[in-house]
Amino acid sequence: MLRLAYRNLFQSKVRLAMSVGGVALALMLILALDAVMNGSEERLTAYIDNSGADVWVAQSGVRNLHMVSSWIPAEVTDEVRDVPGVESATPIMYLTAPVGTKNEQSLAYVIGLPKDAAMGKPWRVVEGKAVPEPGEAVIDSSVAERSGIRLGDKVKILGQKFEVSGLAEGTSTLTNSVAFISMKDFERVRGGGKVVSFVLVKVDPGRSPEAVAKRIEEDVGGVTAQSTQAFAEQERRLVNNMAGDLLAIMNLAGFTTGLAVVALTVYTATLARRTEYGVLKALGARNARLYGIVLAQALYSVVLGFAVGLAFTLVLSAAMPALDANLPMQVGVTSLLKVGGVSLVIAALSAVLPIRQIAGLDPAAVFRG
Amino acid sequence: MNDSTKDSTLRIEHVSKRFGSGETKVVAVRDVSLDVAPGEVVLIMGPSGSGKSTLLSMLGALLKPTEGEIRLGDEVLSALSENRLPTVRLHQFGFIFQDFNLLSALTVLENVALVAELAGAKRSQAREKARAQLTELGLAERLDFLPEKLSGGEKQRVAIARALINDPALILADEPTANLDSSIGHEVTRLLRHIAREQNRSVIIVSHDARIKDIADRVLWLEDGQFKDMVSMATDPVCGMAVEKEKAVVAEWNGRTFYFCSRGCRNEFVEDPGRFTDGDDV
């Protein structure tokens, strides 16, 4: 019976191509969107993940970077250093602000770094220095490339002009990049007393970041301390929540398109062979066997569509860096499982109507011409 | 042939089939009775709308009668649940259709093997059986062809192979020669007769083709859902022609009645009956 399903489907090459192509495009929509989200998610927390810190200490109640401000007294850094289990602590300043280049403005996480910063600095510098001196800035290399900025050129950050002294890699996301200036410049531009945004903590070897974070919260008042892992997870969750509706709509669009294409293909394939199904019924084939043929046809279409869609997505992912470095794509296992599950649901639903058709077939009709 | 059904006689008793009710009620078949013995070829003729298809559907366990009983051997088919009918059709009946009704996506071999698989045979076993059956019907060279590549006669032979693959007790043929030219049609009817005689299967044919009378043991005329005039057929032992018993020239010999197409044949028979009484059943 599986052979019959296979042959029925493959006999009409045009219909098969349309079906597989349609399903492939629909599933690719879901896969590609997931891949963009996965890739962006990884970039989104790139600064946190590569900060070198084990624990992030922030203003009480602040649990992530995106769209927040965190201000804690500068002396908290020394208080944190005194907490048992803390090996070292680096304060950083942080604001979300535009970076103005020659011809455009792009949003950036602006980080103020102390001169001797052990943590929180750019982790991959392609040109120049990692920690800027006063009057200097380190910006993302793709932002610089897009704007034609080179070392020694000027950019505008927080209303002040800075000379570009370093270009970092991997510090841009779909929506923003990370720019680094000196702590001194940050304090000067911001004004308003001795404060820092976060204290980045390295814990003693063998100590649990979670335990040390808890101890910091207990010993230092008015702060929230989280392990880097927890801090990054909060960041991802926030952005996912923000993009959740869009993602749901696009997934629904992909699902509906895929369902419509497979349903139409399987329905027309069944309708075209209505007489043959009637003959099989008359000869003694049970309904369950005939339903199996329809389901198998739907499954074949979807599996082929999934394979083609995945291949397209992988090609697109590979080609994306050459097209736009700010749109990283990463096809994850979770995404594959999700789209695989969606495909199975599409196959099952698309078989419902043809199955109803077959159920209603009267085997005696074979003798009525 | 299946041992359990070898001596199965199809018996229908006072069978009627009504569709609809009240003013829209249509009686397609009314109070029809018929026995078909193993090895017998019965031809059912009649005008369009006479109830032939409905009767054939009931005989083939595709449709249940409103009244009456249909038996195959000891089994009352008309009393079986809908759920059991597919199994009965698969094992006890072979169907042959006017339009051949082969599955267009499958090869000749697969078309026949599929029905054996439906009946529970393993794939390799089913293919072997199908290959043997098709070879016996002269289609050994066509096993891997798709139906569209076959002539009408070949298609009908594939359909016959498919009908025989599960060793059924009965063959039901609906206008088996309608889409064939006369020589191929003749070949198919001879094949059906061979199946009845040599394999001891009952063959019931519904057809408008009067030439099939030649191979039928009985010809029944269905009109307005009833058999009007039952014609029994016999074979002239001298010339081999099918003759209607009631119109034939008759001779008695050795306690048996023989039927002839003409006095000439009868006279030839009477001169030396021993020459003609071996062989075909008269």
> E strands, chain B, where?
10-19, 26-36, 41-45, 67-72, 75-76, 93-96, 170-174, 202-206, 218-223, 226-227, 231-235, 242-244, 249-253, 256-260
Chain B partners of A270 at a C-beta cutoff of 8 Å? none
Pairwise CB contact (< 8 Å): B60 & A3: no
Query: What was the pLDDT predicted at B279?
Result: 45
Contacts of B106 in chain A (CB under 8 A): 3-4, 7
Q: Which residues pair with B206 in a beta bridge?
A: B44, B174
pLDDT of residue B282: 37
Q: B257 to chain A, minimum CA–CA distance in Å?
A: 38
Where does the pLDDT of residue A136 fall: very low under 50, low under 70, confident under 90, or very high at 90 and above? Answer: very high
Interface list for chain B against chain A, based on CB atoms closer than 8 Å: 53-54, 56-57, 60, 62-63, 86-91, 93, 95, 97-99, 101, 103-106, 110, 114-115, 117-119, 162, 174, 206
| Domain residue extents for chain B | 3-107+151-229, 234-282
CATH-assigned architecture of domain B3-107+151-229? 3-Layer(aba) Sandwich (3.40)
CB-CB neighbors (< 8 A) of A276 in chain B = 101, 103-104
* pLDDT number for residue B231: 65
B14 near B35, Cβ under 8 Å? no
* Nearest residue on chain B to A287, alpha-carbon basis: B86
In this complex, the residue of B56, B95, B105 whose CB is nearest that of residue A283 is: B95
Burial A318-341 (b: 16+ CB within 10 A, else e): eebeeeebbbbbbbbeebeeebee
Buried b or exposed e, range B199-224, using 16+ CB within 10 angstroms = bbbbbbbbbebeebbbbbbbbbbbee
Selected residue of B57, B81, B172 to mutate for chain A interface (largest A Cβ count, 10 A): B57
The pair of three-digit structure tokens given for residue B249, joined into one six-digit string: 């020239």
CA pair distance A360, A340, nearest whole angstrom: 31
- All residues of chain A having their beta carbon less than 8 Å from the beta carbon of residue B158 are none
Whether B105 and A363 lie within 8 Å, measured CB to CB: no
Please report the pLDDT score of residue B141 as a whole number.
Answer: 94
What is the structure's pLDDT at A44? Answer: 78
Q: Kindly tell me if the per-residue pLDDT of A20 is higher than 50.
A: yes
Q: For A282, which of B91, B95, B110 is closest by C-beta distance?
A: B95
How far does chain A reach from its first CA to its final CA, in angstroms? 25
Q: What is the pLDDT of residue A202?
A: 96
Distance from CA of B124 to the nearest CA of A (A): 14
What pLDDT is attached to residue A326? 61
**Taking the model in full, what pTM does it have?**
0.67
Chain B nearest CA to A356, separation (Å): 18
Cβ distance B103 to A279 less than 8 Å, yes or no, reads: yes
B234-282: CATH number: 2.30.170
Identify the pLDDT of residue B95.
94
Tell me what the mean pLDDT of segment B152-160 comes to: 93
Q: How far is CA B68 from CA A267, A337, B16, B76, B265, in A?
A: 39, 58, 6, 11, 43
Instruction: Look up tokens 């993009």; give the residue.
Output: A243
- Report domain extents, chain A: 2-44+243-367, 61-221
Q: How far is B6 from chain A (nearest CA, A)?
A: 20
Residue from A276, A295, A262 nearest A361 by CA: A276
Query: Does A283 contact B118 at a Cβ distance shorter than 8 Å?
Result: yes
What is the rounded CA–CA span in Å between residue A24 and residue A304? Answer: 8
Interface size A-B, in CB pairs within 8 Å, comes to 74
CB contacts, 8 Å: A7 with chain B: 105-106, 110
| Chain B interface test: which of A15, A276, A277, A283 (most B C-beta within 10 Å) | A283
Q: pLDDT band for position A39 (50/70/90)?
A: confident
Q: How confident is the model at residue B5 (pLDDT cuts 50, 70, 90)?
A: very low
Instruction: Please give the Cα distance from B125 to B103 (Å, whole number).
Output: 20
Residue B53: count of CB within 10 angstroms of its CB: 23
- Residues of A in CB contact (< 8 Å) with B are 1, 3-4, 7-8, 10-11, 273, 275-276, 279-286, 289, 363-364, 366-369
Mind telling me how many Å the CA of A278 is from chain B's nearest CA? 10
Contact A366 B97 (CB under 8 A): yes
Q: How far is B86 from chain A (nearest CA, A)?
A: 4
Task: Answer yes or no: is pLDDT of A244 > 80.
Answer: no
Would the CB atoms of A279 and B86 count as touching at under 8 Å? no
- pLDDT recorded at residue B229: 66
Q: What is the 3-state secondary structure (H, E, C) of A248-288?
A: HHHHHHHHHHHHHHHHHHHHHHHHHCHHHHHHHHHHCCCHH
Torsion of CA B126, B132, B133, B134, to 10 degrees: 100
Is the confidence at residue A325, as pLDDT, over 60?
no
Q: Give B236-259 pLDDT, tens digit per residue.
A: 889 877 787 888 899 998 888 999
pLDDT value of residue A368: 66
Q: Which of A120, A131, A54 is nearest to A87 (CA)?
A: A54
**Using the beta-carbon criterion (under 8 Å), do B105 and A11 form an inter-chain contact?**
yes
CA-CA distance, B228 to B86, in Å (whole number)? 32
Contact A325, A167 (CB under 8 A): no
Of A4, A280, A366, the CB nearest to B105: A4
Task: Give Rg (Cα) of chain A.
Answer: 29
Interval B197-225: pLDDT, tens: 889 999 999 998 888 888 899 899 888 88
Cα dihedral across residues A45, A50, A54, A57: positive or negative: negative
How does residue A246 score in pLDDT terms, banded at 50, 70 and 90?
confident
Asked if residue A208 lies in contact with residue A72, where contact means CB atoms within 8 angstroms, the answer is no
Q: Do A368 and B63 touch (CB under 8 A)?
A: no
- Can you state the angle between helices A228-272 and A274-283, rounded to 10 degrees? 80
